[in-house]
Amino acid sequence: MKPSLVEYLVCPICRKNFNIKITKKSKGEIMEGYLICINKHKFKITNGIPRFVTDATKDFVKTEDAFSSKWKIYHKSYHEKKWFEFQRNWFLERFQWETLESFNKFLLTKHNVLDAGTGLGNSANFLSTNKQSLVFAIDASESVNFAYKKYGGATNIHFLQADLRQLPFKKNFFDYVYSDQVLHHTKNTETSFKYLTKFLKKAGHISIYVYNKKAPIREFADDYIRSKTTKMSVNDCVEFSKDMTILGKSLSNLKRKITIPHDIKLLNIKAGTYDVQRFIYWHFLKCFWAEDGDFERSVGVNFDWYYPKFAYRHTPDEVRKWYRDTKIKITSFKEIESGISVTGKK
């Protein structure tokens, strides 16, 4: 933890300022210690990271354990350069930035940035290109440990283990809040979004991506399978996710297409020509297979869906309403099969 971080933090329970007790430092960074507010709420600093997660409810713990397990197993695959570049390019496409340069120009206007659900820290890295900015990268899972090891040396990134529903920051603090592929894994997507907007400055921007509602048979299959897989052990769900990956790979290897001549409205299937694997994937069964043939990452994507307790899906109308309710004007809105990407200005 960088010593300057404490000046930006408040107790997530009572909103009071912290005093810091340092028990170990290394190369100018605080590696071990405590943050203690005047009301005696106490939070540990371990391995250079302040730890603020206090929610001990079963379903929350189950969801965060899912991601902790995922990143422990697959962090190397997701830190590879090809995956970082894919994620960055996919972000630029979904949020309708024409070029990386135009997004970086946008970041020049943002001093305090919140990466709400940083995972392995790749997003924090590309949000930190403006070296005059401060990026506060949080995650409730132990993924933040791997993020810190990879990117903790950056002078303008602060990593914290924190729940995005109980943030250790003052309200109206951030110029940009970014929460990509995270909110739908919280207890309630809508209330989590609305909570984040309270930390946004006037004229600040917030970008989110949440799961889209799928075709009805896919939704039925997801609910049924997840009712079983969320109760599995980590190892059993990893094995199941491998089976789904092999199924996706086998379907992809067919290299066949299917043509649907007319819309089948009841099943939410539109007329068109589809690759067989993608047709089954979007309309009937989650069996992800990466086009670049990365087996480990594909297993991680399937596990990411089948193991977490929380994995909500939403409609575009729902998401638009969240922005209206919080008086945030939508500046970019894109719906694709997998999810809904939105940016708005307060």
Task: Say what percent of the chain tops pLDDT 90.
Answer: 86
d(CA 66, CA 307): 6
Tell me the pLDDT band of 59, cut-offs 50, 70 and 90.
confident
Please list the helix, strand and coil fractions of the chain in percent, rounded to the nearest 5, in that order: 40, 25, 30
Average pLDDT over residues 155-184: 96
Strand order in the sheet with 29-37: 18-26, 29-37, 42-46, 49-50
pLDDT tens digits, one per residue of 26-41:
988 999 999 999 999 9
User: Do 33 and 2 form a contact (C-beta atoms < 8 A)?
Assistant: no
pLDDT tens digits, one per residue of 68-109:
777 777 677 777 888 888 889 999 999 999 899 999 999 999
Q: What is the pTM of this model?
A: 0.92
Average pLDDT, the chain: 94
Q: What is the pLDDT of residue 85?
A: 87
Q: What is the pLDDT of residue 324?
A: 98
Query: Is the pLDDT higher at 60 or at 265?
Result: 265
User: Do 67 and 82 form a contact (C-beta atoms < 8 A)?
Assistant: no
